[in-house]
Amino acid sequence: MPNLTVQNLFDRQVEVAPGQTLLQAIQAEGIDWMHACGAKGRCTTCRIIVQEGLEHFGPLTDSEQRYRDRGRLQANERLTCQCTLVSGDAQGRVPQQTMLPHMKYSN
C-alpha cells in the first residue's frame, strides 16, 4: 500500500488503502486534520501541499478542478477529502493557514 509522509507532523507515516481518500487514511491514524465542510469538497481547508510524489495521486476530482480553475488550489496542492494515492508514496505538508491550534507541528 502507498504511504503518505506528513513532513511537518514529525514525518508521520500514513498508510493509504486502495480507494481510501487521504483524509480517511489520516483520520484512521488518529490524526486531527482541518476539514471545515465535513469532507464534502466544498472548501479548501483540508488541502495538503504535496512536496514529492504528485504523480502518484489519482486524477483531480470535479471539486479540485473547480478550485484549481478559480486559483484557490495550486498545482502542488490537493484536497485530502477528495484525492487518493494510487501508485506510490508521497510526501506533503499541512499548510500554515489550516494548522489546528491544539496540534503540535514540526518544521
Read off the pLDDT of residues 86-103 as tens digits, 9 standing for 90 and up. 999 999 999 999 999 999
Q: Which fold has domain 3-97?
A: Ubiquitin-like (UB roll) (3.10.20)
Q: pLDDT at position 25, please?
A: 98
Q: pLDDT at position 16, please?
A: 98
Mean pLDDT of 37-61: 97
Average predicted confidence (pLDDT) for the chain? 97
Are β-strands 3-6 and 90-93 bridged in parallel, bridged antiparallel, or unpaired? parallel
Q: pLDDT at position 42, please?
A: 95
Mean pLDDT of 41-63: 97
Closest residue by Cα to residue 21 from 79, 63, 65, 83:
83
> Residues 102, 21, 80, CA angle at the centre, nearest 5°?
45
14 confidence band (pLDDT: 50, 70, 90): very high
